[in-house]
């Protein structure tokens, strides 16, 4: 989720939290203590690096960005997730399921609801 | 995200600062200002107190930082430290595990009473769980292994508390070192689970690492037990089971410390190993005893003291390792600066001394050294000549200005490599000479 948030450009910690919350439609909320532990690990693994720092309203903002390796990792993960999702949808379609929108109920072609 | 000025309640900021002060110094140095800015920015407009969720999250993060502090102050140190400990801790803990379970089997064979066996070896249930956890870990099931090892550590702490409650402080004093070892093991595997989401090291790699640890650990435990059984200054023991391998453990640790110090990666594991070694060692000496206070009347204070000494040892060794890492980093920065400076000077010197290298003509009055005659006039010719692999001499004919002498310490493969080389042996010594007519070059 953090790599995905940084895919659109450098972001600071709170920006990442807001992006993750938005993209998960409010299902995932990253807490500060958890977030910076994860960012530290990503930086140490060479997937993320510090872009720049700025002070806004006397508050330090440290911006992070993806490294090329981080971009590759994110792309690989995205492709893998996409392939899994396609496979799942294909299997559901093969069994006669009409796949609804996320959160909505699917239904069978024979009229039964899921 | 929101750049508008928002008035933040001073009590809220104070509470955040108090919570952040619970983190270790190194974490605060790196993240305090950033984290405070984040928390304040994320606060609600009228919020004056820290929410329970935030408080729990920060307290948990601070606790985690303190627990992992012996493994490393930074994430990179922890990555290296946990990788090394994943190999060295099982090797170390196999010794007491084998001894404890061996003692259980011996007692069962003697009188067949499981109760007597467990009473005689109080940590046996914890060791059994630990062994199962290790096997699961070796099979590559990291999360399941974490569960087993965490339960093993919890059981070992429970055993310690029960021993304390029953007044068996001597026993508690002796097993405390291994309780610390099991806790460290559970902590390391838990940290590796967190890293597994980031690193995604292949399962076969993890299995290989653990299999190597297991293969090394089993014969080591057997050999060391055989060598050290009941002898030496550490032979003091209330029951022989605890002496099995004790000399070997210390010998092994001493050797391991020397070897591990050599590498920046492996030395991150030393503080934890040193802490366990301290606890195990202190647990077998009368360090808290005296003429008036022999070891066999240890009380709860002795156990607390043992942990305190162990923590101090871990902190002290961590401090030394951190300074060593800083020195290594400074040395790397210095050599890279020196290399960069050398390359810059070399390029500048090359530009000043051989300006004609921008074109094909080497230009007049450019002298580079020794050996055999070489009819070269252009850069490609010179490189081909230098790469020919034979001793070379070239001199400049000061009258005609033609290059005919080259001094070569080592043959470069290309001009760029030559110009960027930081090694003196990779550089062609060059100088300019004053031609016979005395004109300045």
- In tens, the pLDDT along B391-436 reads 454 444 445 545 444 444 444 444 444 444 443 333 343 433 333 4
Residue B293 has pLDDT above 60, yes or no: no
The residue assigned the tokens 């190999």 is: B87
CATH architecture of A2-95: Orthogonal Bundle (1.10)
Q: Across the interface, do B78 and A17 touch by the CB < 8 Å criterion?
A: no
pLDDT at B400: 52
CA nearest B13 in A: which residue?
Answer: A59
Residue A46 has pLDDT above 60, yes or no: yes
Which residues from B are below 8 Å from A62, CB to CB? Answer: 34
Integer Cα distance of A65 and A43 in angstroms: 10
CB atoms within 10 A of CB A99: 13
Picking from A99-103, B307-311, B339-343, B412-416, which range would have the lowest pLDDT averaged per residue? B412-416
For B255-282, give the DSSP string. Answer: HHHHHHHTSTTGGGGHHHHHHHHHHHHH
Which residues from A are below 8 Å from B55, CB to CB? Answer: none
Integer Cα distance of B278 and B268 in angstroms: 17
Q: Name the band, by pLDDT with cuts 50, 70 and 90, for residue B156.
A: very high
Q: Across the interface, do A14 and B1 touch by the CB < 8 Å criterion?
A: yes
Answer for the pair B370, B407: CB distance below 8 angstroms, yes or no.
Answer: yes
Q: Across the interface, do B58 and A32 touch by the CB < 8 Å criterion?
A: yes
For A59-75, give the DSSP string. Answer: EEEEEEEE-HHHHHHHH
CB atoms within 10 A of CB B264: 16
Mean pLDDT of A33-39: 87
pLDDT at B216: 63
The percent of residues above 90 in pLDDT, for chain B, comes to 6
Q: Residue ranges of the domains in chain B? A: 10-68, 75-330, 354-432
Residue A54 has pLDDT above 50, yes or no: yes
Residues comprising chain B, all counted: 441
The percent of residues above 70 in pLDDT, for chain B, comes to 61
Q: Which of B3, B31, B78 sits opposite A36 (nearest CB)?
A: B31
Integer Cα distance of B54 and A22 in angstroms: 20
Answer for the pair B160, B175: CB distance below 8 angstroms, yes or no.
Answer: yes
User: Which of A33, A63, A67, A69 is the best residue to mutate to test the B interface, defined by the most B CB atoms within 10 Å of its own CB?
Assistant: A33
Q: Could you tell me what percentage of chain A is helix, strand and coil, using 3-state DSSP and rounding each to the nearest 5?
A: 50, 20, 30
Which residues from A are below 8 Å from B325, CB to CB? Answer: none
**DSSP 3-state assignment of B120?**
helix
Which residues from B are below 8 Å from A61, CB to CB? Answer: 34, 37
Integer Cα distance of B130 and B188 in angstroms: 13
Which residues from B are below 8 Å from A42, CB to CB? Answer: 198
Query: Using one digit for the tens of pLDDT, what is the confidence trace for B358-373?
Result: 333 343 333 333 333 4
How far is CA B130 from each of CA B150, B215, B248, B277, B390, rounded to the nearest angstrom?
Answer: 9, 17, 21, 19, 65
Q: Which of B37, B53, B64 sits opposite A60 (nearest CB)?
A: B37
Q: Residue ranges of the domains in chain A? A: 2-95
How far does the CA of residue A102 sit from the closest CA of chain B (Å)?
26
Answer for the pair B347, B427: CB distance below 8 angstroms, yes or no.
Answer: no
The first and second tokens of residue B236, run together, are 């003091």
pLDDT at B247: 60
How far does the CA of residue A35 sit from the closest CA of chain B (Å)?
10
How far does the CA of residue A108 sit from the closest CA of chain B (Å)?
37
Burial annotation B351-364 (CB, 10 A radius, 16+ → b, else e): eebbebbeeeebbb
The residue assigned the tokens 């390792």 is: B321
pLDDT at B411: 41
Q: Across the interface, do B34 and A36 touch by the CB < 8 Å criterion?
A: yes
Mean pLDDT of B257-282: 82
For B7-48, give the DSSP string. Answer: ---HHHHHHHHHHHTTS-HHHHHHHHHHHHHHHHHHS-TT--
Closest CA to B107 of B130, B124, B126, B129: B124
How far does the CA of residue A33 sit from the closest CA of chain B (Å)?
5
How far does the CA of residue A11 sit from the closest CA of chain B (Å)?
9
Q: Which of B34, B64, B198 sits opposite A13 (nearest CB)?
A: B34
Residue B219 has pLDDT above 80, yes or no: no
Residue B56 has pLDDT above 80, yes or no: yes
pLDDT at A97: 73
pLDDT at A58: 77
The first and second tokens of residue A21, run together, are 């919350």
Residue B243 has pLDDT above 50, yes or no: no
Q: What is the ipTM metric for this complex?
A: 0.77
Q: Across the interface, do A13 and B38 touch by the CB < 8 Å criterion?
A: yes
Mean per-residue pLDDT of chain B? 70
Q: Across the interface, do B36 and A59 touch by the CB < 8 Å criterion?
A: yes
How far does the CA of residue B376 sit from the closest CA of chain A (Å)?
44
CA atoms within a 13 Å half-sphere pointing along the CA-CB vector of B440: 0
Query: Using one digit for the tens of pLDDT, what is the confidence trace for A15-26?
Result: 888 888 888 887
Closest CA to B18 of B42, B35, B41: B35
């Amino acid at each position: 989720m953090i790599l995905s948030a940084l895919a659109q450009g450098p972001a600071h910690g709170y920006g990442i939290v807001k992006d993750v919350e938005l993209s998960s439609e409010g299902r995932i909320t990253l807490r500060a203590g958890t977030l910076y532990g994860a960012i530290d690990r990503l930086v140490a693994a060479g997937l993320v690096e510090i872009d720049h720092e700025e002070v806004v309203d006397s508050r330090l903002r440290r911006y992070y960005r993806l490294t090329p390796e981080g971009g590759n990792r994110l792309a690989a993960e995205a492709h893998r997730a996409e392939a899994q999702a396609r496979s799942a949808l294909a299997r559901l379609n093969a069994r006669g399921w009409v796949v609804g929108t996320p959160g909505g109920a699917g239904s069978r072609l024979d009229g039964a609801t899921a | 995200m929101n750049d508008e000025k928002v008035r933040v309640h001073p009590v809220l900021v104070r509470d955040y600062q108090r919570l952040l002060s619970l983190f270790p110094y190194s974490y605060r140095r790196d993240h305090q200002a950033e984290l405070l800015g984040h928390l304040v920015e994320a606060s609600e407009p009228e919020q004056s107190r820290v929410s329970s969720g935030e408080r729990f999250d920060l307290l948990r993060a601070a606790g985690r930082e303190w627990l992992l502090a012996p493994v490393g102050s930074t994430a990179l140190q922890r990555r290296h430290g946990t990788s090394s400990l994943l190999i060295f801790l099982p090797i170390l803990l196999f010794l007491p595990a084998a001894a404890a379970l061996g003692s259980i089997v011996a007692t069962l064979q003697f009188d067949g009473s499981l109760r007597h066996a467990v009473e005689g070896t109080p940590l046996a249930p914890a060791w059994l769980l630990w062994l199962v956890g290790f096997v699961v870990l070796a099979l590559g099931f990291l999360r399941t292994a974490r569960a087993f090892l965490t339960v093993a550590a919890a059981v070992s702490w429970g055993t310690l508390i029960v021993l304390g409650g029953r007044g068996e402080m001597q026993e508690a004093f002796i097993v405390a070192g291994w309780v610390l070892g099991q806790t460290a093991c559970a902590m390391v595997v838990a940290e590796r689970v967190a890293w597994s989401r980031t690193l995604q090291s292949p399962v076969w790699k993890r299995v290989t690492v653990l299999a190597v640890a297991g293969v090394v650990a089993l014969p080591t435990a057997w050999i060391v037990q055989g060598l050290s059984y009941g002898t030496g200054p550490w032979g003091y023991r209330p029951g022989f089971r605890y002496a099995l391998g004790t000399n070997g453990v210390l010998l092994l640790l001493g050797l391991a410390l020397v070897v591990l110090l050599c590498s920046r990666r492996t030395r991150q594991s030393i503080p934890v190993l040193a802490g366990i070694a301290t606890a195990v060692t202190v647990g077998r000496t009368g360090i808290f005893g005296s003429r008036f206070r022999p070891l066999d009347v240890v009380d709860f204070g002795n156990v607390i003291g043992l942990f305190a000494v162990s923590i101090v040892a871990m902190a002290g060794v961590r401090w030394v390792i951190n300074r060593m890492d800083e020195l290594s980093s400074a040395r790397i920065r210095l050599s890279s600066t020196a290399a960069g400076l050398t390359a810059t000077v070399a390029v500048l010197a090359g530009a000043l001394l051989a300006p004609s290298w921008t074109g094909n003509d080497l230009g007049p009055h450019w002298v580079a050294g020794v050996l055999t005659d070489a009819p070269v006039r252009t850069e490609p010719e010179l490189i081909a000549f230098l790469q020919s692999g034979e001793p070379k001499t070239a001199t400049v004919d000061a009258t005609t200005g033609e290059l005919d002498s080259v001094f070569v310490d080592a043959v470069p493969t290309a001009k760029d490599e030559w110009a960027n080389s930081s090694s003196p042996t990779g550089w062609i010594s060059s100088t300019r000479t004053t031609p016979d007519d005395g004109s300045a070059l």
